[in-house]
Amino acid sequence: MKDELNVQDKSGAVLAAALTVHEPAAAEGHFTVECYDAEGRLKWSDTIDNLVVTVGKNLALDTYLSGSAYTVTGPFMGLVSNVGFSAYAVTDTMLSHPGWTEAGAINAPTYSAPRKTVSWTPASLGTKTSTTTVFGITGSGTVKGCFIVFGSGATSTIDSTGGTLYSAGNFTGGDKIVANSDTLNVTYATSL
């Protein structure tokens, strides 16, 4: 008897891997606003998830990625009035924002001029947060939201059309009524 043994060795492997990492970066911002009456009692608080407009994104990208010895002008924060409000648009600029008006001088409510300069804490975990910005209300009215302007030509003058609009947005809980001698404490956080 003759025994035969057929020995075969086979092996195979398949490697499937995704070689790309997808981490989108979108400019986003968030205002937090608290309103206190003349006696320091909290009247209301609300938030704003704002629109970062195209010119604001462009200026931020140009200064982040190709700026050299860049000095920030501003940023300045202002309030949006409900007077003549219809909408924000990604195409809004400080020179042309037909769907909204700035509060503070011509449009109610008024507040102690000028626009407020925004100061920042160091960035952490992809977010940069402002210190509290304080608006002293000097004339009653309805506040729709807030905006930020910075860059070349930006000034703290209320109703100035100079500079680059970065962001604007409305309160998530609707329009807010303020009275003379109220104080609005506003913080802003932006992230990529």
Instruction: Assign 126 a pLDDT band (cuts: 50, 70, 90).
Output: confident
Q: Percent of the chain at pLDDT above 70?
A: 85
Check residue 69 and give its pLDDT.
67
The CA distance from 162 to 184, in Å, is 24
Per residue in 45-82, pLDDT (tens digit) is 999 998 889 998 888 888 877 766 677 899 999 999 99
- CA pair distance 126, 130, nearest whole angstrom: 14
Q: What is the value of pTM for the model shown?
A: 0.85
Any idea where the domains of the chain sit in the sequence?
A: 52-191
| Residues of the chain by 3-state class (helix, strand, coil), percent to 5 | 5, 40, 50
- HEC letters along 31-53: EEEEEECCCCCEEEEEEEEEEEC
The answer on pLDDT for 96 being more than 80 is yes
Percent of the chain with pLDDT over 90: 70
Categorize the per-residue pLDDT at 173 as very low, low, confident or very high, splitting at 50, 70 and 90: very high
Which residue has 């970065």 as its token pair? Answer: 166
Closest to 170 measured CA to CA, from 114, 93, 104, 88: 88
Range in 28-32, 62-66, 142-146, 163-167 the model is least confident about: 62-66
DSSP state of 80: E
Residues shown for the chain: 192
Gyration radius from the chain CA atoms:
26
Work out the mean pLDDT of the chain and round it to a whole number.
Answer: 89
Q: Would the pLDDT of 105 be above 60? A: yes
Q: How far apart are CA 182 and CA 39, in angstroms?
A: 9
Interval 25-53 mean pLDDT: 92
E-strand ranges in 28-132 read 28-36, 42-52, 76-81, 101-104, 107-111, 116-117, 127-129
- What is the model's pLDDT at position 24? 65
Residue 87, pLDDT score:
96
User: What single-letter DSSP state applies at residue 63?
Assistant: H
Residue 110 pLDDT > 60: yes
| Predicted pLDDT of residue 2 | 60
Which residue did the predictor score with more confidence, 28 or 95?
Answer: 95
Say how far apart CA 73 and CA 117 lie, in whole Å.
Answer: 10
